Amino acid sequence: MKSISIILFLAILAVTSALPIFQARSGTGLSARENSTSAAFGNSASQDTTKAVAPVDLGKLNEDATTNTTQGTSNNGGSKKATTKANTPSAAQVKAAVSGFASDAKTVSAALNSLPTMTDKTAIASMAAKAFAAESDEDSQRAVLSAAAGSAGSASNAKIVKNTPVVLNGLKAIQKNPASVKTNVNTIETARNAQILPSITQLSNAALDAMGLAQTAQKFPATGQ
């Protein structure tokens, strides 16, 4: 009986000693699970925060697009103005064109005054070729003066453009057939004396005036008189 009591006492003692250890292990496991759960929840919240996207302000986007379009249009307008200004001849260019036009016109007039009295066919063809080159060069001078004069020179410019082919065709015909010199010179002078020569002076003065320069363009006497 005594031995049974001893055994029972030892069993109770063993259970009592093991209880704190079990409680400690249970507490550790519970804390680990709580920490794991907290970490998982924290990561999930972090991911949700990262994925969040700021709302797009469509009104602001439209406003920016309108502003950019307006600025682009403004820049294009500025380019056009710059181009227009760049195409306007300078005063120096106008003065050079006036001088060049006058020189070419004098060369053609001298040829027309001499051709009817010439008899050598080779000399006639050569003189006509020289006059043709001068008449052709007049067009580059005319273009400069027309650009400078603007509407003030439109009427005189139109007369020159319309009648210049008559002069060129006549001179070319003389080169090919020197015997036709008198007929072609008469045709040339009919158009040139009345339409081209006065218009050269008028267009030149209009261009000079547009540049603020004195209207000192030469007047050209008619040929064949």
Average pLDDT across the chain, whole number: 78
- Min mean pLDDT across 10-19, 112-121, 207-216 is at 10-19
Residue 192 domain flag: yes
CATH number at 125 reads 1.20.120
Mean pLDDT in residue range 23-36: 48
Residue 194 domain flag: yes
Question: pTM of whole model > 0.75?
Answer: no
**Please, which pLDDT band fits residue 137 given cuts at 50, 70 and 90?**
very high
Per-residue model confidence (pLDDT) at position 64: 45
Residue 23 domain flag: yes
pLDDT, one tens digit per residue, over 162-201 is 999 999 999 999 999 999 999 999 999 999 999 999 999 9
> How far apart, in whole angstroms, are the C-alpha atoms of residue 195 and residue 140?
18
Are 99 and 178 contained in the same domain? Answer: yes
Are 23 and 95 contained in the same domain? Answer: no
12, burial (CB in 10 Å: exposed 0-12, middle 13-18, buried 19+): exposed
28, burial (CB in 10 Å: exposed 0-12, middle 13-18, buried 19+): exposed
pLDDT, one tens digit per residue, over 145-161 is 999 999 999 999 999 99
Residue 129 domain flag: yes
Residue 113 domain flag: yes
203, burial (CB in 10 Å: exposed 0-12, middle 13-18, buried 19+): buried
Per-residue model confidence (pLDDT) at position 148: 98
Per-residue model confidence (pLDDT) at position 225: 83
Per-residue model confidence (pLDDT) at position 5: 60
Are 110 and 201 contained in the same domain? Answer: yes
pLDDT at 13 over 70: no
Pick 167 or 36 by higher pLDDT: 167
Are 107 and 22 contained in the same domain? Answer: no
Residue 113: domain span? 89-210
The domain total for the chain is 2
Residue 128 domain flag: yes
Are 97 and 177 contained in the same domain? Answer: yes
Pick 74 or 167 by higher pLDDT: 167
Mean pLDDT in residue range 40-69: 44
Residue 58 domain flag: no
Query: What distance lies between CA 188 and its chain's CA centroid?
Result: 42
Are 26 and 93 contained in the same domain? Answer: no
Residue 37 domain flag: no
**Please, which pLDDT band fits residue 6 given cuts at 50, 70 and 90?**
low
